[in-house]
Amino acid sequence: MAAMLANLVRPIKIKTPDSDFGRRKLSPTPSRTSIRCLASGKSGERSYTLTLLPGDGIGPEVVAVAKDVLSLTASLEGIKFHFKEMPMGGSALDAAGVPLPDETLDTAKGSDAVLLGAIGGFVLFIKYKWDKNEKHLKPETGLLQLRAGLGVYANLRPAVVLPQLVHASTLKKEVAEGVDLMVVRELTGGIYFGKPRGFGTNDNNEDIGFNTELYSASEIDRIARVAFEVARKRNGKLCSVDKANVLEASMLWRKRVTMLASEYPDVELSHMYVDNAAMQLIRDPKQFDTIVTNNIFGDILSDEASMLTGSIGMLPSASIGESGPGLFEPIHGSAPDIAGQDKANPLATVLSAAMLLKYGLGEESAAQRIEAAVIETLNRGFRTGDIFSSGTLLTSGTLG
């Protein structure tokens, strides 16, 4: 599939109706100040520095494919990329003793955009390799540190059921066909970052663990504005997901989102409790256009939404902030059970590269070229094992 993608990037026409991943209305690239990060800001110069973080498992394989596709696309679009590959996650733990070395973070912060593969892994596919490490020495901690260090607070995760892959969904065709939604997840607040947190004992001298779900008004407002802007450029429908019937943090969330709605009269706002949203995503996913929610709910719901498409290996994501480089990554994990076997589906990472071009650098034409090549690859029937079905062509993933 890697070779097929490279071949198709060159001849494909840029404008194709199905190539606008995760955005229903064909509209200009979102403004730099609203829902995407700033690129280098070098007026008239189309030269960018990209930090590549291959990570663990299949990460190096899929990032290598995306790098090749980016390089070819750049040559056709008159762009010049300077790639800097740095360690992160388990590979950084093994090499440097920490999941996010200072040099890696400094390099990422000094670049125009960051492309991440995957982190984590297992030994013999049974035991998590770094399971006995202290929390600050786990691969996932490096990812949280990277997001915080880059200041990327808005995570955009499209979930689109492509016509070519509707039969790959585990849902009935009439339920899955036509699904096209975007989850906007708050990324740097909430229970994953809130303090106090830790371990202790209660009055009965029992061990306890505790975390804090904490959001400020400004944190809610900024992610809500991103979501309203995204919804405005799609179908004008925004569903805010919370648990305001139980949680005080969600009560404030709903209050702030509702207050901001008056600034976006062209966007229809609705609210839904997270347990109902989880059910409705399976029952009737087409009712959703844009969803905005907090960190932990977004983590869960975006993974659930990804399976509507039939494979987590198809879906990209973009994490952006008010300034500085954005972070772009597939939503799948490191899949160590297939690492090095040429089975990994690289399309989520390739589409993450397209989001990098679109949202991170403002290179809309280059992004559309990649999206169109992915569509044409699927149109020609090529499939990796995770999306293979009768009548299609099973192909290797990343090495061929």
Residues 332, 278: Cα–Cα separation, whole Å? 19
Residue 275 catalytic? yes
Question: Residue for token digits 């960051």?
Answer: 114
Residue 299 catalytic? yes
Q: 149 is written with which tokens? A: 């260090």
* Torsion angle defined by CA atoms of residues 4, 9, 14 and 16, in that order, rounded to the nearest 10 degrees: 10
Query: What does R_g of the chain's alpha carbons equal in angstroms?
Result: 20
- Rounded to a whole number, what is the distance in angstroms from the first to the last CA of the chain? 7
Instruction: Note whether 60 and 89 are within 8 A (CB).
Output: no
Catalytic residue among 18, 221, 303, 342: 303
* Torsion angle defined by CA atoms of residues 310, 304, 152 and 209, in that order, rounded to the nearest 10 degrees: -140
Q: 190 is written with which tokens? A: 């909430």
* Cβ-proximal residues to 159 (8 Å cutoff; 6+ apart), any chain: 22, 179, 180, 181, 182, 183, 285, 302, 305, 306, 308, 309, 315
Type of residue numbered 315: L
Residue 128 catalytic? no
Catalytic residue among 48, 192, 215, 359: 192
Catalytic residue among 243, 289, 343, 359: 243
Residue 192 catalytic? yes
Catalytic residue among 289, 299, 358, 359: 299
Residue 153 catalytic? no
CA distances from 383 to 10, 16, 188, 212, 334 (A): 20, 20, 35, 43, 20
Q: For 370-390, give the DSSP string.
A: HHHHHHHHHHTTEE-GGG--T
List the catalytic residues: 192, 243, 275, 299, 303
